[in-house]
Structure 1
Amino acid sequence: MNLSDPRELATLLEGILLASGRPLSLERLGELFEEAERPEPQQFRDALAILSLSCAGRAFELKEVASGYRLQIREPLSPWVGRLWEERPQRYSRALLETLALIAYRQPITRGEIEEIRGVAVNTQIIKTLMEREWIRIVGYREVPGRPAMLATTRAFLDYFNLKSLEELPPLAELREMEAEPEDVQLVPVHLPSPILDEDYVPASIQALADQALREAGEEPEAAAPEEKPEETSFRSLLAELDEMEQGLKTDFDDLIEPPPVAEDEAADDPAAAEEALPIAPDDAVEAAPEPAAEPAAPVPEADEYDEERALAEAMREELEAMARERDH
């Protein structure tokens, strides 16, 4: 094989990259050749450029990542090719991905700085998982009390996300635009059918077949009774009723206070009161019709119960006002 010919070298490199299970750098490719026949780095680049052009229209492509060059399946074909492996792809939690994103964009960064930005503590298992995946590594220690470790991403991180360098990370401005919702989007309410609670309910399709059978038999199907629509109560009517309830609440209980008993000294000074207090003689007693028993007085609500009722009414009113504002908007 003439290794000085870029086309033949490109064919050889294609076979090497297909057999390799990981990206190969130019230095690693050069180690596969004897020193006497080893091509120059520029010859490798020319052969790789020819190989990249020859992949046009094929199922795989030549991709340069942080660790070197590799041949990989094109992304549109990955959903079908991925079915060759029965194991499910790993799913990562939101906390893990947020931690990884902060390390990628703010590296080198300490664990304390990550916690300060996120506002919550970073689970030790998250750092351990990222270390085991070889996506992050310790690059040093910050010269502050405690000397916390500084974390940064690795080449394996770039290889996994199909990046050649950190400069290929999406700018933060683009990420903010992706998160922002367009203002002209209007949400259309979808009316879902309510659950059927009537035991006599018959689906419309079955009822239509039954009606058709009756017509073929010469009978006329009974007309369906019109459905009664439940009365709709607006939020504003509920607010009006609630205001009436608040106005009707009793706030003055002075008329329910019993008068204090008359003292004996006051009765002695008042002859009329003393005369009323004297017992009635039997001869002077007049039979009187028995008076009907007085109905027990309604219990007077205590101040605590009244405060609870008023607080409940206030809470209901605020809730209904909030619902009304949401409906109006």
Structure 2
Amino acid sequence: MEQQEATEQSELPDQAPAFMKAPDETPCADQSIESRVEAVLLSVSRPVSETKLVEFLGLGAMNTKDKMPITMVKQAIDHLNAEYAQSGRAFRIERLAGGWQLLTLSKFAPLMTRVHGAKSQGRLTPASLDTLAIIAYRQPTLRSELEAVRGVACGDVLRGLMERRLVRITGRAEELGRPMLYGTTNEFLRVFGISRIEDLPQARELRNPAG
């Protein structure tokens, strides 16, 4: 029995298999921050926040007051954009929907349309755009408020905007029946190319005074 146990122990590997090891806290640490930021943004199709970039790059815990990791990420993005501009690249890193995304320059839009074709969802109708504008500037807003402003029923249009993930239910109003409140989404910011809702033209003047 002792001989069998000794044999079994001798068969154990000196090092734990790779899948049992703790993940590297700083992946690709031998590469520059610029290269790692670029690699992350190339691999995703949606904006990535600075906090997420810090987490992915293993630059430090974000539960502290230390802003240095975020500063490092911003500096890396500035350096990358400067390199892209200097070398005449067709893309740059843009701030979008509260994060950062690698995007093709707008001057290449005709070429991208030829390559990828028109989007399958098609354009928003005038009614959808009107409703979306009211929600964007007055959110959170009630369906009854939308219909009062537009003068027509908005149920079908509202459902269509929610199916496109441009509008979401943000809560319920503190009034009789507790009707649902509507607001825009991060997808809305991404589609319209803005970083935050305050970047809308004259947003402060046009927002719902009660908002």
Report the TM-score, using the length of structure 2 for normalisation: 0.71
SS in 2 for 1:152: strand
Q: Is 1:45 the counterpart of 2:74 in the alignment?
A: yes
SS in 2 for 1:16: helix
Task: Return the match for 1:79 from 106, 110, 120.
Answer: 110
Report the TM-score, using the length of structure 1 for normalisation: 0.47
Letter in 1 for 2:102: L
1:141/1:148 contact within 8 Å kept: yes
- CA–CA distance in structure 2, aligned partners of residues 130 and 169 of structure 1: 19
Q: Which has the higher contact order (CA 8 A, sep 6+)?
A: 2
1:55/1:62 contact within 8 Å kept: no
Match of 2:146 in 1: 114
Q: Is 1:130 the counterpart of 2:161 in the alignment?
A: yes
1:108/1:152 contact within 8 Å kept: yes
2:98/2:196 contact within 8 Å kept: no
Letter in 2 for 1:120: V
Match of 1:31 in 2: 55
Q: State the superposition RMSD in angstroms.
A: 2.7
- CA–CA distance in structure 1, aligned partners of residues 125 and 69 of structure 2: 46
- Most deviating of 27-36 and 49-58: 27-36
Larger radius of gyration: 1
1:61/1:71 contact within 8 Å kept: yes
- CA–CA distance in structure 2, aligned partners of residues 43 and 167 of structure 1: 25
Runs of 4+ in 1 over 6 A off after TM superposition: none
SS in 1 for 2:95: strand
How far 1:58 sits from its partner (Å)?
1.8
| Count of residues in Structure 1 that have an aligned counterpart in Structure 2 | 169
Comparing both structures, which one devotes a greater share of its residues to strand? 2
Q: Is 1:167 the counterpart of 2:198 in the alignment?
A: yes
- CA–CA distance in structure 1, aligned partners of residues 58 and 152 of structure 2: 56
Match of 1:55 in 2: 84
2:36/2:57 contact within 8 Å kept: no
- CA–CA distance in structure 2, aligned partners of residues 2 and 125 of structure 1: 50
SS in 2 for 1:24: coil
- CA–CA distance in structure 2, aligned partners of residues 45 and 142 of structure 1: 39
Task: Return the match for 2:101 from 53, 62, 70.
Answer: 70
Structure-2 change in CA distance of 1:49 and 1:104 (3 Å)? same
Task: Return the match for 2:128 from 96, 100, 105.
Answer: 96
- CA–CA distance in structure 2, aligned partners of residues 45 and 88 of structure 1: 32
Q: Is 1:15 the counterpart of 2:39 in the alignment?
A: yes
SS in 2 for 1:63: strand
Task: State the identity %.
Answer: 35
Structure-2 change in CA distance of 1:104 and 1:81 (3 Å)? same
- CA–CA distance in structure 2, aligned partners of residues 3 and 104 of structure 1: 42
- CA–CA distance in structure 1, aligned partners of residues 116 and 39 of structure 2: 23
Structure 1 unmatched ranges of 5 or more = 173-329
